[in-house]
Structure 1
Amino acid sequence: MLLAIDAGNTNVVFAVFDEARTIKARWRIATDPRRTGDEYAVWIHQLLQLDGMAMSDVTAVIISTVVPRALHNLEVLAQKYFKVTPLIAGETPAQWHINVDVPLPEQLGADRALNAIAGHAAYEGDLIIIDFGTATTFDHIDYSGAYKGGIIAPGINLSLDALVNNAAKLPRIAIEVPEGNGSVIGRTTEDQMLIGVFWGYVAMMEGLVARMRKEIGRPARVIATGGLAVLFDMKTDLFDAIVPDLTLTGLALLYERSRIAA
């Protein structure tokens, strides 16, 4: 089985794929570059057992990371405990196998390239992929599967943290769908904050996607991934599909293509 590891700015996600590219189990842990390969091994050994698997069931590992300092310890995990040399997404021999059609392709984040791979494999035509993470990214994948560019915006939790941390009297609130009938005039401080963050984010997304579609000049499906996609889907018809495991699926596809190309 394949162990796919996606190390993001907030969490590291581990997923085990079987030969049919089906996810058998997935787990996440807070990203900490200081966490050693030994610590990862103790944690994942227990989780594999809870899901009826063993370390020896994993025969291949692929790693994607946007946190360079986290990579070494994940490589140690693969080499020492799974006895394999991991493929590193974006590095030889696991190049992207897509056309990254931007002036500085080396700047493209691994998660965004993987989303492009998985999105194009699942859907025809032009795509706009919105990924809700520490940052919220909007990416254009054209009908040929080429990555054409995109937008990086502060994630909604990052925006809320900045607001609370820089305004002494504002309370900390949770991101949720505002109550009521869609009113954007809040009656309390908490209501006003939630309206500003939630409806402000919906307006930003709808406005940016409209501008992207106009610039693309062709119909473009909007594919969303990331935990907050479902929350926003309750109050906007912007998304054509929500694919929670888009990045992980991209890792599994990249592993297959890299193995064939080797």
Structure 2
Amino acid sequence: MITIRPIPAFNDNYIWHLRKGDEHWVVDPGDATPVKKALNGASLSGILLTHHHLDHTGGVVSLVEEFDCPVLGPGSIAGVTTPLADGDRFTLLQRDWEVFAVPGHTLDHIALVLHGSDGIHLFCGDTLFAAGCGRLFEGTPAQMHESLTKLASLPKDTKVYCAHEYTLANLQFARAAEPGNEDITVREELDSATRDRNQPTLPSTIGLELATNPFLRTGSQEIRMQAAAHGATPDASAVEIFATLRHWKDTF
């Protein structure tokens, strides 16, 4: 079985550390120092990247210099040795993986789906967050909405490993966007207790996101009403609702 654990970095990043036997891989190492500490003398087998932002790639050069390991990720990123694109499939850690293109946060963003012996694991970088989604730095609302819809179509028990501990702030916005959703209230209580214990709120699951993440719930009548109060038209499409929510969240 593969063990997956977070390596905290910066103020709120998580670098995901995957281990099977003597094989060690990391996802989105923005900083090499905590990775080297977590390896505790072991050798790094390779690096997986979801997009080009420095807080996800800043540690790559140092790690490659020390461990001479491969780097898999979008071909647009300097230093990638195995470019990955939408629909690609590969084997890693004796498990099958597939690649989804998920533009929106950046245009080169990909999500990595691990089919493990214990279920499906989604490494989604800054596209899907626990109770939220990434800002639109490069893509359009339509692109991000399509990307999120693609991820939301995964089985409900899929574990979601995003790259930041934004959950409580996202849940505050989710409560404003859908105040009548009791699932959000329950989640906020549970995740607040988790953070009080200084534990990560991740991984989430697709099922939990479908129940509590406003960016996956554009069909909710209450969310549509709240979006209308923030500029959406009465007969707004799902993309317009999403765009209104994202703009509202940017200034929340």
Name the TM-score class by shorter chain: 0.3 to 0.5
User: Which has more helix, going by share of residues?
Assistant: 1
TM-score, normalization by structure 1: 0.34
Greater length-normalized contact order (CA 8 Å, ≥ 6 residues apart) = 1
Q: Highest Rg: 1 or 2?
A: 1
